[in-house]
Chains A and B, each alone.
Chain A
Amino acid sequence: DIQMTQSPSSLSASVGDRVTITCQASQDISNYLNWYQQKPGKAPKLLIYDASNLETGVPSRFSGSGSGTDFTFTISSLQPEDIATYYCQQYDNLPQYTFGQGTKLEIK
């Protein structure tokens, strides 16, 4: 099984800050990595697919990078509406999907 380790598990930042979340895979997953945003009481929303591609309609302050085992998700300038929990998800060994444990982002 491929394990996904996100860090940090929680993060507090100020409006306008640059925020970075990392996700590490237990083995090489190429670029088969997606990022989701989940606001309280809501379903997750796909933000980034294939490690670095922005889903249609998602603000450009969100970005993703990485390949192999190490991936990064970045918010270039944190906005109040970005408060959420963020998850990475791998799909290298389809038909199995694995999510990271999540990173809870709060406003300082």
Chain B
Amino acid sequence: QVQLQESGPGLVKPSQTLSLTCTVSGGSISSGSYYWSWIRQPAGKGLEWIGRIYTSGSTNYNPSLKSRVTISVDTSKNQFSLKLSSVTAADTAVYYCASGVAGSFDYWGQGTLVTVSS
């Protein structure tokens, strides 16, 4: 059973870069046909897909965030990461890492709250 765990700073200053890592356990990030995604959820609001990476390193991003997002993978550590630059208060949210084959998100991390504030 694949398990995902997010980690990273819970507080980021405006205009800085948010950086989060998702550690995968119970399976290799390099095996199978899984895509590895980041999804966020502002307090009391719905879910927004941020982007995904395949084990080959190919990435896809939400067009609304594309200019500020970078997702990378470190197969040696069984991790993938999110960087979101030039953050504002609007980026305050619970950030989830998730994985699935093609269209669904089968596995989710527990989520980590990131607050953007000075």
A interface residues, Cβ below 8 angstroms from B: 32, 34, 36, 42-46, 49-50, 55, 87, 89, 91, 94-102
Interchain nearest-CB distance for A79 vs B (Å): 22
Q: Are A43 and B109 in contact (CB under 8 A)?
A: yes
* Dominant secondary structure of chain A at its interface with chain B: loop
How many A-B pairs have beta carbons closer than 8 Å: the answer is 53
B interface residues, Cβ below 8 angstroms from A: 37, 46-49, 52, 60, 62-63, 96, 98, 100, 102-106, 108-111
* Among B52, B98, B105, contact of A95 (Cβ-Cβ < 8 Å): B52
Q: CA A31 – CA B115 in complex, angstroms?
A: 37
- Considering the complex, give the chain B residue whose CB is closest to the CB of A99: B47
Q: Are A46 and B49 in contact (CB under 8 A)?
A: no
Q: CA A44 – CA B63 in complex, angstroms?
A: 23
Q: CA A38 – CA B63 in complex, angstroms?
A: 25
- Considering the complex, give the chain B residue whose CB is closest to the CB of A92: B103
* Among B62, B102, B106, B109, contact of A94 (Cβ-Cβ < 8 Å): B102
Q: Provide the residues of chain A in CB contact with B60, threshold 8 Å.
A: 95-96
Instruction: Given the known inter-chain contacts A43-B96, A43-B111, please indicate yes or no for A98 contacting B49, CB distance below 8 A.
Output: yes
- Considering the complex, give the chain A residue whose CB is closest to the CB of B51: A95
